[in-house]
A and B are shown apart, each in its own frame.
Chain A
Amino acid sequence: GAVVSQHPSWVICKSGTSVKIECRSLDFQATTMFWYRQFPKQSLMLMATSNEGSKATYEQGVEKDKFLINHASLTLSTLTVTSAHPEDSSFYICSAPSRGNNEQFFGPGTRLTVL
C-alpha cells in the first residue's frame, strides 16, 4: 500500500519555541491531508484538513494561529506548533486519502514533548 512518512518521529523542545512537523506522501499525490492529535489513552482527534494550494480548514476549538498548516506541494504538508507549551505535548499524526478514497494512509506519528 501507499506510504505516508512523518518527520521527525519525536521531538523535545522548550516552552515558547516553535516546532515544525512534516508529512509526506511517498508514492502518491495528496491534494488533501489530515492532521490529528492524540493524548495518552485517548482517541485521535482531528485538528485540521490541509488543502494543497489553499488554506487549511480547522476543526472547532483548534487555534489556526497556533497550529500553522502549509500544504505547498502535492506530497508535503507541514504543521507548525507555534509558541509551544507543555499542554501541547501530544502524539501528532497525519493522513492522506487514497486516490479512490477507499482508505486513508496514516503516518507513523510524531511524539512532541514540550518542557
Chain B
Amino acid sequence: GQQLNQSPQSMFIQEGEDVSMNCTSSSIFNTWLWYKQDPGEGPVLLIALYKAGELTSNGRLTAQFGITRKDSFLNISASIPSDVGIYFCAGQQYGNKLVFGAGTILRVKS
C-alpha cells in the first residue's frame, strides 16, 4: 500500500531552537495534513494544505505543500517545552482515506 516517509524519526530540541520535519511520498496527494499528538490524547490538527506550493502558518508553525504534490514540510520556530509530542503528517487523495507517516517524536534536551 501507499506509504509516507517521514523524517526525522525522532529529535531532541532545546528551548528556543527551530525544528524542521518533512514527509515524502511516491504518490501524488491533493491534501497534506499535519497533526500533533500528546500521550494518551487524540491527534490535533495543526495545519491543512490544499494547493501545490501553498505555504501556511499557524502561530509558530509553518507548513508547505510541495510543488510536486509528493512532499510537505513542517517548521516550528522558537520551540517551547509544550511542543514535545509526536507529529504525524498525512496525505489524502481526493475523497480517499488518509495515509499517515510513521511520526516524528519531539523530545526536550535536558
- The answer to whether A binds B is no
Seen from chain B, the residues whose Cβ lies within 8 Å of a Cβ on chain A are none
Interface residues of A (CB under 8 A from B): none
